[in-house]
């Protein structure tokens, strides 16, 4: 052990690694827990930081727990199953508040505690299963950390919803009989409130063979309500059998009322429906407090956040670049008898410029951009002159960057609520309100 260095872990970094200092230099340690006293082996040394692996746990933290998953530490799906959930929430708050302070000088006084997940396990309604069928045994699971090797998960995934795990077991048995299984790199499983659809990514030359196989195996795939085939981009999606759509319920502004929202395979949907409902409630409160009348929803998807607000405002306009999601948003309007919402398929920045040229004005803009953030649309959205921006983010770093840019355009963060959409991982969502000053 003389070649190892001892260190105590102080905190966790945004990427999920433990943080300590060795000879005055920051060191990142995967699978560490705050409070751990560890024997470390340095694996990499850069100019400004080190990385290390755990050689031994000399004194475990009081927050260290036994992971539920037997492949935890090898599977790349989770990074924090070894950390008590209350500690996860504390660390997420620290990471979130520090990111907003560094990037936009947002005071912690306007940042709420992290909203905990009602179910820290069994919450995930969408998974991407990686497959390797080239060996003697079919492997289905997730990539190992830092590699493209498939870590087999025959017992299922603890963070996935129960129907998904049941379907994984059936797929394993069925695919073992398919001669073209080596041409399937991935299967997506997506669950609604009812129903579970699989999208098979097939890269083989004989697409008809895959269609015939999954059609013939329908009875053995009773956990699935539908199957699609994809052989390239989303435009290649082909329905094979069963459900074409999935549905989930969302609360509306009307007392005790819910609307049913559809989404199609290939379109975006939140993976944690319980937390999605909580976020919708946060956004509704912010809209009401802002006395919003006209909403612009950028990166709107299927209308997930803006449609439930339609009864609270005069009008809703949504913009999304993926046509499949816009088709769902328009269908959701019809299904729920919403007549004051319009959803457009377009690039967000170009759409905002066109709306302004047409004399459209909005007092509130809802943003739900991808992980890269909304820097490309900030200039155009500021021409709308909104009084309120509600920014939904899945990445604290890009949120902080964009809040800093918006501060330079005359907007101030008045409230930010981190929401734990992804327990057992370092990721989280957040809802942030900015006001024109």
Domain residue ranges of the chain, discontinuous segments joined by +: 1-64, 89-119+250-264+271-436, 126-191+196-242
Using an 8 Å Cβ cutoff, are 70 and 54 in contact? no
| 13 φ/ψ angles, rounded to the nearest 5 degrees | -90, 165
* Chain centre to alpha carbon of residue 403: 20
Give the per-residue pLDDT at 1: 40
Rounded-to-integer distance, Cα 307 and Cα 317, Å? 10
> Identical fold at 89-119+250-264+271-436 and 126-191+196-242?
no
Active-site positions read 394
Give the per-residue pLDDT at 234: 79
Give the per-residue pLDDT at 236: 87
Rounded-to-integer distance, Cα 12 and Cα 95, Å? 8
Nearest to 416 by CA among 96, 53, 60, 76: 96
Q: Which CATH architecture has domain 1-64?
A: Beta Barrel (2.40)
Beta-strand relationship, 294-298 and 258-263: unpaired
In the structure encoding, which two tokens stand for residue 292, read together? 């919003």
Give the per-residue pLDDT at 150: 93
Sheet of 411-419, strand order: 341-345, 315-320, 294-298, 364-367, 388-393, 429-436, 411-419
In the structure encoding, which two tokens stand for residue 249, read together? 């319920």
User: Splitting the chain (437 residues) into consecutive groups of 10 residues, what average pLDDT does each group show?
Assistant: 82 94 94 97 93 96 96 92 98 96 96 97 95 84 90 93 95 93 94 94 92 96 96 87 94 81 87 95 95 95 95 95 93 96 94 90 95 92 93 96 96 98 96 97
Q: How many CB atoms lie within 10 A of CB 254?
A: 11
SS3 47: coil
Give the per-residue pLDDT at 134: 72
The pTM score is: 0.93
**Which CATH superfamily hosts domain 89-119+250-264+271-436?**
Vaccinia Virus protein VP39 (3.40.50.150)
359 Cβ contact partners less than 8 Å away, ≥ 6 residues apart: none
User: 126-191+196-242 sits in which CATH class?
Assistant: mainly beta
DSSP for 171-205 reads HHHHHTT-TTGGG--EEEEEE-SB-EEEEEE--SS
């Amino acid at each position: 052990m003389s070649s190892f260095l001892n260190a105590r872990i102080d905190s966790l970094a945004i990427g999920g690694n433990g943080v300590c200092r060795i000879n005055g230099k920051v060191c990142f340690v995967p699978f560490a827990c705050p409070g751990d006293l560890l024997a470390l082996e340095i694996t990499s040394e850069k100019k400004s930081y080190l990385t290390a692996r755990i050689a031994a746990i000399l004194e475990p933290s009081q927050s260290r727990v036994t992971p539920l998953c037997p492949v935890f530490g090898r599977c790349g799906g989770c990074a924090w199953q070894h950390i008590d959930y209350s500690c996860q929430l504390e660390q997420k708050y620290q990471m979130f508040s520090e990111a907003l302070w560094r990037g936009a000088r947002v005071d912690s006084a306007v940042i709420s505690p992290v909203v905990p997940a009602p179910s820290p396990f069994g919450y995930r309604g969408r998974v991407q299963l990686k497959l390797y069928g080239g060996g003697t045994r079919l492997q289905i699971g997730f990539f190992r950390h830092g590699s493209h090797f498939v870590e087999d998960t025959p017992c299922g995934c603890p963070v996935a919803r129960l129907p998904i795990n049941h379907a994984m077991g059936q797929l394993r048995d069925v695919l073992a009989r398919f001669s073209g299984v080596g041409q399937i790199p991935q299967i997506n499983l997506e669950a609604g409130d009812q129903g579970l659809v699989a999208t098979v990514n097939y890269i083989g030359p004989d697409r008809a063979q895959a269609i015939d196989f999954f059609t013939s195996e329908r009875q053995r795939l009773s956990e699935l309500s539908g199957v699609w085939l994809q052989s390239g981009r989303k435009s290649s999606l082909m329905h094979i059998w069963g459900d074409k759509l999935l549905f989930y319920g969302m609360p509306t502004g009307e007392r005790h009322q819910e609307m049913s929202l559809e989404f199609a395979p290939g379109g975006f949907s939140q993976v944690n429906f319980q937390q999605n409902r909580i976020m919708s409630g946060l956004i509704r409160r912010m809209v009401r407090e802002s006395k919003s009348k006209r909403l612009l929803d950028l990166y709107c998807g299927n209308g997930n956040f803006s449609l439930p607000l339609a009864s609270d405002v005069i009008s809703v306009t949504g913009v999304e670049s993926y046509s499949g999601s816009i088709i769902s948003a328009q269908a959701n309007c019809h299904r729920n008898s919403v007549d004051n919402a319009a959803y457009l398929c377009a690039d967000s920045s170009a759409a905002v410029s066109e709306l302004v040229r047409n004399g459209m004005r909005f007092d509130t803009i809802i943003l739900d951009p991808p992980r890269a953030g909304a820097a490309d649309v900030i200039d155009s959205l500021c021409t709308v002159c909104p009084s309120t921006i509600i920014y939904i983010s899945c990445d604290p770093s890009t949120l902080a960057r964009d809040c800093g840019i918006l501060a330079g355009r005359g907007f101030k963060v008045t409230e930010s609520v981190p929401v734990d959409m992804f327990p057992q991982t370092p990721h989280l969502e957040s809802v942030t309100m900015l006001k024109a000053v």
